[in-house]
């Protein structure tokens, strides 16, 4: 559900990244959520860059890097277990 100001609500993304593994509730969803967030943030970064909003592109690009690290890290951990 979009936030009142038109920006997407990222709370669900944070919950999807943080809760499954520590709670043991289908931990396979953590890397999947990270990949989904990665795709979203790459798209947001591209949109901001096309508009010439380079400063606004910093947050989505940072979140994309963090999501990639989470996806690879948890994906490898789950694959090795």
- The pair of structure tokens assigned to 80 is 């090795």
pLDDT of amino acid 9 = 62
Q: With both helix axes pointing from N to C terminus, report the angle between 58-80 and 29-50 in degrees, rounded to the nearest 10.
A: 160
For the chain, 81 residues long, the average pLDDT of each consecutive 10-residue run is 51 70 78 89 95 94 92 82 68
Question: What does the DSSP 8-state code read for residue 25?
Answer: S
pLDDT of amino acid 13 = 67
Q: Are 64 and 42 in contact (CB under 8 A)?
A: yes
pLDDT of amino acid 60 = 93
Distance, in Å, from the CA atom of 71 to the CA atom of 32, rounded to the nearest integer, reads: 7
pLDDT of amino acid 69 = 92
pLDDT of amino acid 55 = 94
pLDDT of amino acid 20 = 75
pLDDT of amino acid 3 = 47
- The pair of structure tokens assigned to 73 is 């890290």
């Amino acid at each position: 559900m979009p936030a009142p100001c038109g920006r997407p609500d990222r709370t669900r993304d944070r919950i999807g990244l943080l809760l499954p593994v520590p709670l043991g509730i289908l931990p396979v969803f953590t890397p999947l959520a990270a990949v989904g967030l990665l795709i979203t943030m790459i798209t947001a970064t591209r949109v901001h860059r096309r508009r010439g909003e380079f400063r606004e592109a910093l947050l989505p690009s940072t979140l994309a890097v963090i999501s990639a690290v989470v996806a690879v890290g948890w994906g490898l951990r789950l694959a090795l277990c």
